[in-house]
Amino acid sequence: MILLFFKGFLLSFSLIAAIGAQNAFIIKQGISQNHIFIVSGICFLCDVVLMGFGVFGIGEFFAKNPVINLTIAILGILFILYYGFLSLKSAFLSQSSFEISQGNKLSLKKTILLTLAVTLLNPHVYLDTVFVIGAAVLMFSFDEKIIFASGALVASFLWFFGLGYGALKLSQILIKMTKTIDILIAIIMFFIAFSLIRYVSLSSSIKLPIV
């Protein structure tokens, strides 16, 4: 049982720790000292819901529905390109977005909406939490799924809060590298957007079933 817990922990950690839109967003909010508990908490709660879908089989519906997948991908492209453009623009301002944010924090409502957008409008999140985690537990019993999922969620909790508060703790050091960080975030966003565009182009070439 302990081995199963750590299998879930390690798989989840390996998926979440990859540099992506969500992690870049959390780091930026930590440096900006902007509602980091709320940001980290929302990311974790989204993982709770999405991993639950994957572990208990509900994710199969999303995997087999090309319309839902394409809709999420297109919305994700638009949002990620916009966020990447803002980061790139910030890199060339005399005052970085981090410094501006520290002096004028985002409202709680805007922070929540942005966190949900960068999490739920990124198809990679569904791939990791719903499909990969879901596939890993297909042959498990109900009790084994619970243990595996517990390990996966502990990894998620430690990563998101560790990343957020780590960036917050080091904000005074990282603030000196804001232009470099903005450029790196922009590159990450544009790379993710490019991969999503490829996904949409490949998916659209497949004829959807006529109902």
Phi, psi of 89 (to 5 degrees): -60, -40
Cα 58–chain centre separation: 20
Taking 3-state DSSP, the helix, strand and coil percentages for the chain, each rounded to the nearest 5, stand at 80, 0, 20
- Read off the pLDDT of each residue in 130-148 and give the average, rounded to a whole number: 84
pTM of the model: 0.73
Nearest CA among 203, 196, 206, 195 for reference residue 73 = 196
- Contact of 188 with 24, CB cutoff 8 Å: yes
In tens, the pLDDT along 28-62 reads 898 888 899 999 999 999 999 999 888 887 655 66
